[in-house]
Amino acid sequence: MAFTTASYISIDGVSIAETPEPSTGLLLGLGLVGLKLAPRRRS
């Protein structure tokens, strides 16, 4: 969770300032997790 949160803050920092929407954060969080899990599933 810590690593995902850090990446989310650094990547979506500007977007949050412009459009503070929890849904956007959730979508980005799921996207980051999906990209990280995809290679593991293929293996």
- Cα torsion at 30, 11, 40, 37 (round to 10°)? 0
**Confidence at residue 1, expressed as pLDDT on a 0 to 100 scale:** 46
Summarised one tens digit per residue, pLDDT across range 10-27 is 555 555 555 556 777 777
The answer to whether residue 34 scores a pLDDT higher than 80 is yes
Report the alpha-carbon distance of residue 40 to residue 43 in Å, rounded: 5
**Confidence at residue 31, expressed as pLDDT on a 0 to 100 scale:** 83
The two three-digit tokens of residue 12, written as one number: 């979506």
**Confidence at residue 28, expressed as pLDDT on a 0 to 100 scale:** 79
| pLDDT above 90 coverage of the chain, percent | 0
**Confidence at residue 21, expressed as pLDDT on a 0 to 100 scale:** 65
